[in-house]
Structure 1
Amino acid sequence: MIGKLLCCLMLALLAGATAAAELVVVVSAHSAITTLRAEQVADIFLSEATRFPDGGEVVALDLPIGSPLRDDFYLKVANRTPALMKAYWTKKIFTGRGQPPRELPNSMAVRKLVADNPTLIGYIERSALDASVRPVLVVH
């Protein structure tokens, strides 16, 4: 019985480890930004910062609510669960102090839009990375 339980637990842990995609925060390959700290990225995605560290305008792009990648991103970068993010945006919107980032359906859509505009920033699966965008933070 214990052996069977341990086996199931190990399989569940392995499934969880392979299911989590490595995320990268990206800007256009034409952007002057080469690296950002997690705190800077969190401030941008939480509408606390509207400019890159070099002073240039920045606009964040998000994945859809309920996306495992989105949940993983906010947990690792901003230390917030989906419930905390919902409460955060509800308060920001209600008080007129901000709007959440525009949502796109998947990593490919984020990459394409970011590649075409140096003011945009987004996060994508590392497997979606190509030369059109520059990774500025690897999310672990």
Structure 2
Amino acid sequence: MNHIKQAFVILLLALFIEPVLAKEPLVVVVNKDNPVEQLSRSELIDLFMGKYVAFPNDIKAIPVELNSDHQIKIEFYQNLVGMPLSRVNAYWSRLRFTGRKRAAVFKSNENDLIAFIAANKQAIGYVPQSLITKDLKVVYILNE
């Protein structure tokens, strides 16, 4: 009987640990025709936190975000800037109060985000690595 309890505990632990181990990296992507090949973490922070509005080659960038508190968005900001989404949202609220507008486009799901990037050479966004399509180019890998 004791072996059954041990097996049950091991099974439960495996169920809780496996999703953590199986977590795939998030990637930052641009349109396949965008001339940018790679971006640094600091360049991404500058683009997604509003310091810069263009890629390093001075072409205007259009950050594409997932709406509200989407889990991928939460993971993206935690990995990119080390802050919870609530702090990122507070940051943007302060900037709006001073008159600065956010240049980002918001999409409700990953498929809409991918479609927007595929149709816009200036777009940049983030998706789980498994969702990369032939229309996208990876410029940075997070939580690898």
TM-score range, shorter chain: 0.7 to 0.9
- 2:126 corresponds to 1:123: yes
Question: What's the secondary structure of 2:115's corresponding residue?
Answer: helix
The superposition leaves residues 43-95 of structure 1 with CA deviations (integer Å, 9 ceiling, x where unpaired) of: 11111110100111101010122111000000111221012112111101111
1:10-21 to 2 correspondence within 5 Å?
11-18=15-22, 20-21=23-24
Q: Which residue number corresponds to residue 134 of structure 1?
A: 137
Q: Which residue number corresponds to residue 30 of structure 2?
A: 27
How far apart are the structure 2 equivalents of 1:16 and 1:65? 23
Aligned residue pair count: 139
Cα distance, 1:119 vs structure 2 = 1.0
Question: What's the secondary structure of 2:108's corresponding residue?
Answer: coil
Cα distance, 1:16 vs structure 2 = 3.2
Q: CA RMSD in A?
A: 2.2
- 2:28 corresponds to 1:40: no
TM-score, with length taken from structure 1: 0.87
Give the aligned residue type for 2:127. Answer: I
For the 8 Å contact 1:39–1:78, the answer to whether it is kept is no
Structure 1: gaps (5+ residues): none
Among the aligned pairs, what percent are the same residue?
Answer: 22
Give the aligned residue type for 1:126. Answer: Q
TM-score, with length taken from structure 2: 0.85
Cα distance, 1:99 vs structure 2 = 1.9
Give the aligned residue type for 1:118. Answer: K
Q: Which residue number corresponds to residue 60 of structure 2?
A: 57
Give the aligned residue type for 1:13. Answer: I
Structure 2: gaps (5+ residues): 1-5
Q: Which residue number corresponds to residue 3 of structure 2?
A: none
Pick aligned residue for 1:106 from 103, 109, 112: 109
Q: Which residue number corresponds to residue 94 of structure 1?
A: 97
How far apart are the structure 1 equivalents of 2:91 and 2:17? 31
Question: What's the secondary structure of 2:52's corresponding residue?
Answer: coil
Give the aligned residue type for 2:39. Answer: L
Question: What's the secondary structure of 2:125's corresponding residue?
Answer: strand
